[in-house]
């Protein structure tokens, strides 16, 4: 129970990775305020998990303010913010200005604004976790919006860490690779075994990640055990980021495979 007595807000936490993160924080003893746009879903989850919920569209400053106020009114303090809310839609070079601004507003700007508004309430020992992605570290054909926003999150983490360090507040990012989520479930036809098979060549550990694995790392980073860590990105990616374009396979193997195909 690393987080007993701590209070956390997790944005975008009524589904997918955000919900998995919230569950792990709860398992470690934190009191959690779910923040999401669906009142019906959020209220049902709050009743199931025994936590709080507030309707919060992270593009609206008034709803961010209301979420923070509700958390303080409910729990009397605020120690942890997890900036997880995210848009994945991406048409790459074909994306228009409105699509660019929408994605950057949700994925990057809203994290900065939420942190700005939370910072004044965080105590010495408070923590902000930004959810990054391996997508923000490497090139990808046909994509631009999501990777650019996640690259921005990694840089924002460093800047916020330096800015908030004098107050004793730590800021870190966590970058998952392929992780079981609503989008991956859609790609795979809700077949986890298939997702593991498709993802195996890109992850040395031979499968895609699970949300609770990301949540467990975040819980640790929010704990006293990580008190000497700030401003860095922690890859939770099954080894994805240690591979090059050859996927860790020597040239000899690639040539042998080519000859076999001829």
How far is residue 73's CA from residue 220's CA, in Å, rounded to a whole number? 26
173's tokens? 């990012």
Distance in angstroms (rounded) separating the CA atoms of residues 140 and 25: 32
Look-up: residue for tokens 């999401």?
Answer: 36
Phi, psi of 145 (to 5 degrees): -65, -55
Paired with 33 in beta bridges are 9, 52
How far apart (Å, rounded) are the C-alpha atoms in residues 140 and 197? 21
φ/ψ of residue 31, rounded to 5: -95, 130
State the residue for tokens 């046909």: 142
**Catalytic (active site) residue 75:** no
Q: Which of 245, 181, 160 is nearest to 21 (CA)?
A: 181
Cβ–Cβ < 8 Å for 236, 176: yes
Q: Which of 53, 75, 146, 240 is catalytic?
A: 146
Q: Is 9 helix (H, G, I), strand (E, B) or coil?
A: strand
Q: Which of 105, 93, 109, 174 lies closest to 137, judged by CA?
A: 174
Active site residues: 146
């Amino acid at each position: 129970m690393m987080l007993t007595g701590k209070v956390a807000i997790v944005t975008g936490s009524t589904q997918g990775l955000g919900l998995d993160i919230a569950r792990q924080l709860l398992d470690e003893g934190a009191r959690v305020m779910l923040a999401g746009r669906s009142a019906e879903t959020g209220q049902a989850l709050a009743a199931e998990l025994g936590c709080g919920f507030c309707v919060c569209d992270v593009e609206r400053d008034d709803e961010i303010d209301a979420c923070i106020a509700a958390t303080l009114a409910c729990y009397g303090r605020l120690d942890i913010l997890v900036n997880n809310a995210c848009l994945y839609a991406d048409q790459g070079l074909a994306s228009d200005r409105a699509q660019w601004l929408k994605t950057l507003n949700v994925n990057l700007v809203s994290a900065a604004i939420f942190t700005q508004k939370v910072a004044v309430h965080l105590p010495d020992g408070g923590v902000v976790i930004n959810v990054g992605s391996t997508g923000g570290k490497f090139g990808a054909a046909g994509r631009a919006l999501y990777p650019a926003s996640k690259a921005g999150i990694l840089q924002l983490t460093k800047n916020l860490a330096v800015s908030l360090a004098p107050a004793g507040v730590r800021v870190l990012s966590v970058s998952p690779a392929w992780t079981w989520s609503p989008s991956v479930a859609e790609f795979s036809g809700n077949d986890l075994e298939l997702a593991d098979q498709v993802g195996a060549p890109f992850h040395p550990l031979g499968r895609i990640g699970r949300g609770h694995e990301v949540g467990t790392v975040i819980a640790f980073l929010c704990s006293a055990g990580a008190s000497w860590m700030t401003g860095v990105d922690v890859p939770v990616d099954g080894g994805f980021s240690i591979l090059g374009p050859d996927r860790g396979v020597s040239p000899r193997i690639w040539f042998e495979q080519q000859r076999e195909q001829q």
